[in-house]
Amino acid sequence: MKPDEMAKMNNEKRKLLTEENELAYGNMLVYIRCSNVPERQSEELLLEILDHLLESQKEGKNAYDVFGEDLPAYCDELIAALPQQPMFEKFSTIGFIISLLLAIQFGVDTISAVITSFFQKNYPTEGVSFDILETTLSVIILIGGLYIILYVMKGFSFKFIMNWKSRIIFVLSISIPFGISVLLHMYFKKYPYLSYNLSLWQGALIALFFYILYKFLFKASRFQ
């Protein structure tokens, strides 16, 4: 059975859980999926946990009766017995988001250049501006930001009620990396460093390339 099929089966079986067990199991699910384990093994583990919980639920037990009061520690024990996530799976998990953002960036810049060319007296337009340093820095920041987001999500997975500090941390972990990336894009548009002007068709091809790469990596990632 493929991982996506196991995930669908998981979603169907979860409907049989009581509200209390659903909340506890949902936290375990987020915690395990945000861990550094292969997708197939994590989905198999989640199904085993769910089946065990459903059987115990018939006997009137809840998740804490079955797995103990410290659910994160229990999950850590299970995760420690699994192999680490392979490099390609790690790359696809982060790569599909980066590819999508780059496709959007080049796509928007190309469309903006096309629109601008219609209002310029001196045609043809200069083309699509591309700064190597800006793109490299943005990718590094976004990769770091995505790892921080996964770390924060895992850390907050067992907090039933998030206080205002936790909410602020979660929002900042998402907004700061993307905000810095946008500011870098604006800065290097005004003060280019290693900038090149691509033709309109080159900009369109690069946007298309990153979009195709995004679709490929998304299928290979655990978020499909």
Phi, psi of 130 (to 5 degrees): -135, 120
- Note the maximum CA span of the chain: 79
* Tokens representing residue 102 in the block: 């780059």
Using alpha carbons only, what angle is made at residue 168 by residues 164 and 173, rounded to the nearest 5 degrees? 150
Q: Are residues 190 and 209 in the same domain?
A: yes
Q: Are residues 110 and 22 in the same domain?
A: no
Residue 139, domain extent: 87-220
Q: Are 41 and 78 in contact (CB under 8 A)?
A: no
Q: Are residues 134 and 182 in the same domain?
A: yes
Tally of CB atoms within 10 A around 87? 8
- The residue among 34, 62, 80 that closes a domain is 80
Instruction: Return d(Cα 219, Cα 207) in angstroms, integer.
Output: 19
- The residue among 80, 112, 138 that closes a domain is 80
pLDDT value of residue 123: 52
- The residue among 48, 65, 80 that closes a domain is 80
* CATH number for 38: 1.10.1900
Q: Are residues 201 and 95 in the same domain?
A: yes
Tally of CB atoms within 10 A around 188? 21
pLDDT tens digits, the chain, 224 residues: what are they?
A: 787 788 889 989 998 999 889 988 988 988 888 888 888 889 999 999 999 999 999 999 999 999 998 888 999 999 998 888 777 777 787 888 889 888 988 888 888 888 777 776 555 556 777 788 888 888 888 888 888 887 777 776 666 555 667 678 778 877 888 888 888 878 887 887 777 788 888 889 999 999 999 988 887 766 55
pLDDT value of residue 55: 93
Instruction: Return d(Cα 47, Cα 42) in angstroms, integer.
Output: 9
Q: Are residues 76 and 94 in the same domain?
A: no
Q: Are residues 60 and 99 in the same domain?
A: no
pLDDT value of residue 112: 82
pLDDT value of residue 160: 52
DSSP-derived pairing of the beta strands 128-131 and 195-198 = antiparallel
3-state helix, strand, coil in the chain (%, to 5): 75, 5, 20
Q: Are residues 106 and 180 in the same domain?
A: yes
| 130 strand-pairing partners | 196
Q: Are residues 112 and 208 in the same domain?
A: yes
Helix (H) or strand (E) holding 160: none
pLDDT value of residue 191: 80
Helix, strand or coil, per DSSP, at residue 129: strand
Residue 196: name the closest of 133, 135, 129, 138 by CA. Answer: 129
Q: How many residues does the chain have?
A: 224
Q: Are residues 97 and 198 in the same domain?
A: yes
Tally of domains within the chain: 2
